[in-house]
Structure 1
């Protein structure tokens, strides 16, 4: 994949896929073969990348990839990928996507002629493989935690739709989680700043991207109006309960819990950057494409200009807060031999405080009590982390509790949209819960080496 010829080869594969779309897709108005407009762009990009072996060819190839990708999103590639226009079109679209990804990776790698200087030279091939597995696992866990674990959609129990969802939600949630973590770790920020960045991402998702925060009936989900009306604020056009559920839910399930578990899989790397220049670019491109596919959906246009402007201001304020806290962090190293709670104790307390909000009604009283439970858990974690004995395993225990609660409660209801049989529904619940259990076991297992645990210690001010 990383050879000089893989970039042009990927572009040629994507070109063949576009030719296939012209054959199996709708015919031209005159009845002849319809030539997709992206075909000449890809062919020119492939030729440039093939003959111009330096940076110029790579840049021209990446331009071709970007233009065709944006055009494909506007042409409804998402519906093609899940088979709305039939299996032949879906196959051609998937071939196109694979070709574009291969081309982007190879051409981007050509631009980066040297490896990242910080933290990678001493790890060797085994460390690189471990980091790649960590990143891949995080992408999967973000998609599972954000959407699939709750099992509320019509993709529940459908292997084909689940496979697409893992890729799509990995880009929509996993890619920004990686980017936020990368920013925080490179700047030396701790979890307080990282959580504010996650809050900014969650606010952007609910208020700017899918705009479900302002929707009166998003996607036809059962019970939407009933959850929205009791805490509706007419002057703001949103529900207090939905705002809490969506934003806090994204912070915990889409970003924070998966990142905490993924970092705990290899504690020695928990405070180090994971992405190089190419990985950062690929994550950013994946996020932009996935977000664009949502934004261009007419269902995701519920917000008024004023609502969108205010939401953008909130996102900016959260990012500014993250920067201020990160810059003003107090340097206070973990104290050797300090005593703190065991990871299992943190897990039990977190399970209780995570479960209570899920059992409350969507009223103002329920909202207030839910907020109090979340604040109580936050205070508990903050105080416990200041003991100096707090490690990434403890942080992972908090994330595990939330994921377990969501996965277990998913057994108690059927999807809120679509008609799903009991067998596939419960099989889906079991598989998703097993993914969480395995991820948690790897994160929480006790290491034989004290060094691994010591490297995962976090300063009290930057800790959880």
Structure 2
């Protein structure tokens, strides 16, 4: 109740979109902090009364979220006019969504449903994933490059994360996660000392869930700014320091030193080669994006099916891995063809990103954390809350508003 009152006070004192964003943050904190207490007192003589009260609280939260979201996405008088507050909101959104997409949405460890651990994880992973995502985007947008270069930079970051920072790619038994060694051996390539399934899941997973999908959603919140830089010089320095600091914390963990000198050297070479490819692709300027494109809902549904296919086929096996690689490759080709034939917009990119994030969030309901003991209620409440955050971010991104019309007028 006190958090709701604080949110109401913030909404009254801090006007505009920034105030609405602060209200959403406070409400999110309230929801996360309430996980352990949600089932308390629902049995016994007071069960019915407490259940009714909790229902009323949920309704109040829904009204507060709706009001704050409307304020955040209230259009400016001129959609093409620079909006510093709007950019700040998008930056914060990327930081949060990268942390959620990379780690919290999957709900695979013992922080699941733990309010204090989740709060720390949100901040830490925002630095580890959100900060480099913003830096890569900043380089691409300042140079006038497009998504191909951005995806290659994300691939370099994903390779660096899995092979050079946490070095999970080379770990035989990482952090005590249940089943790690068994599943690794199903697609082990002895000559390289890595699992093919892990290579696909880690690198491709980082590209999509840790970086690309969150960026796509945040850009679609204000498509008229999708090609603009977001960070000031101070912001660039802060993002770089956050990334280096969190990466250093991971490297300080002895369990992050599993790669051999040769594996680390080869991985470093791969990262450099992928960055070089991003620079070369960026210099070969593509034609401007055309307005129009396939139906956004079709992009969302197709991407959701493609994202679910590898999990349903079991990517820990060679057959499932083949399904994942073929399905992802086919989707990439289909997007390139659709963009050239009918056009592509930030909303289409957001729909594709949302499809992947929804698939990860839905699959998280099908398993329990791989380490620690998490109560079922806390686990499913966590899954639900993370999925709701993704759905809200996706709904805002896919909303047809003045910014979309401004983008179409600018590109058409």
Write the deviation string for residues 161-191 of structure 1: whole angstroms up to 9, x where unpaired: 0000000000000000000000000111100
Q: Does 1:333 align with 2:281?
A: no
Greater RCO structure (CA 8 Å; 6+ sep)? 2
Post-superposition CA distance 1:195-236 (Å, at most 9, x none): 000000000000000000000000110111121001111111
Any conservation in 1 of the 2:100–2:386 contact (CA below 8 Å)? yes
Change over 3 Å in CA distance of 1:456–1:174 after alignment to 2: farther
The answer on whether the counterparts of 2:220 and 2:350 sit within 8 Å (CA) in structure 1 is: yes
In the alignment, which residue of structure 2 is the partner of 1:142?
A: 98
Decide whether the 8 Å contact of 1:208 with 1:312 is kept in 2. yes
Q: 1:304 aligns with which of 260, 274, 288?
A: 260
Whether 1:189 aligns to 2:158 is no
Paired residue secondary structure (2:401): coil
Correspondence 1:399 to 2:350: no
Q: Quick check: 1:343 aligned with 2:296?
A: yes
> Does structure 2 retain, via aligned residues, the 8 Å contact 1:142–1:253?
yes
Tell me what 1:224 maps to: 180
- Root mean square deviation, CA, Å: 1.8
* 1:411 aligned partner: 365
How many pairs align?
334
- Aligned partner of 2:383 in structure 1 is 429
- Matched residues in 1 for 2:203 and 2:193: separation? 16
What's the offset of the Cα at 1:448? 4.7
* Equivalent residue number for residue 241 of structure 1: 197
Q: How does 1:142-181 map to 2 (within 5 A)?
A: 142-181=98-137
Aligned partners of 1:136, 1:197: CA distance in 2, in Å? 21
CA distance in structure 2 between the aligned counterparts of 1:173 and 1:283, rounded to whole angstroms:
10
Post-superposition CA distance 1:110-129 (Å, at most 9, x none): xxxxxxxxxxxx99998111
Query: Equivalent residue for 2:273?
Result: 317
TM superposition outliers: structure 1 runs of 4+ over 4 Å = 122-126, 455-458
| Alpha-carbon distance, 1:453 to partner | 3.7
Q: Secondary structure, in 3 states, of the residue corresponding to 2:313?
A: coil
Segment drifting more, 351-360 vs 203-212:
351-360
Q: Offset of 1:333 from its aligned partner?
A: 2.9
8 Å CA contact 2:145, 2:282 repeated in 1: yes
Q: Report the CA distance shift for 1:454/1:134 in structure 2 as closer, same or farther (over 3 A).
A: same
Match among 390, 401, 406 for residue 447 of structure 1:
401
- Structure 1 unaligned blocks of 5 or more: 1-121, 459-464
Tell me how far apart the structure 2 counterparts of residues 267 and 326 of structure 1 sit (CA, whole Å): 21
Deviates more, 1:439-448 or 1:264-273: 439-448
Question: How far apart, CA to CA, are the structure 1 residues paired with 2:304 and 2:410?
Answer: 23
Residue 323 of structure 2 aligns with which residue?
A: 369
* Normalised TM-score (structure 2): 0.78
Unaligned 5+ residue runs, structure 2? Answer: 1-77
In 1, Cα distance between the equivalents of 2:403 and 2:82?
A: 18
Contact 1:153/1:415 (<8 A) preserved: yes
- 1:366 shift after superposition: 1.7
1:451 is displaced (CA, Å) by: 3.0
CA distance in 2 between partners of 1:156 and 1:215 (Å): 23
Please list, as runs of the form range in 1=range in 2, the aligned pairs for 1:252-331 lying within 5 A after superposition.
252-330=208-286
Equivalent residue in structure 2 for 1:386, among 313, 317, 340: 340
Q: Is the contact between residue 392 and residue 456 of structure 1 (CA under 8 Å) also seen in structure 2? A: no
Q: Report if aligned partners of 2:79, 2:402 keep a CA contact under 8 Å in 1.
A: no
Give 1:295 deviation, angstroms: 0.5
Distance in 1 (CA, whole Å) between partners of 2:123 and 2:410 is 30
Return the structure number with greater helix share: 2
Matched, 1:352 2:305: yes
Whose radius of gyration is greater, 1 or 2? 1
Deviation at 1:456, TM superposition (A): 7.7
Equivalent-residue separation in structure 1 for 2:331 and 2:115 (angstroms): 36
CA 220–450 in structure 1, closer or farther in 2 if over 3 Å, else same: closer
Residue by residue over 1:100-152, the C-alpha shift from the partner in whole angstroms, topping out at 9 and shown as x without a partner, is xxxxxxxxxxxxxxxxxxxxxx9999811111111001100000000000000
> Do the aligned residues in 2 keep the contact of 1:270 with 1:456 (CA within 8 Å)?
no
Q: TM-score by structure 1 length?
A: 0.70
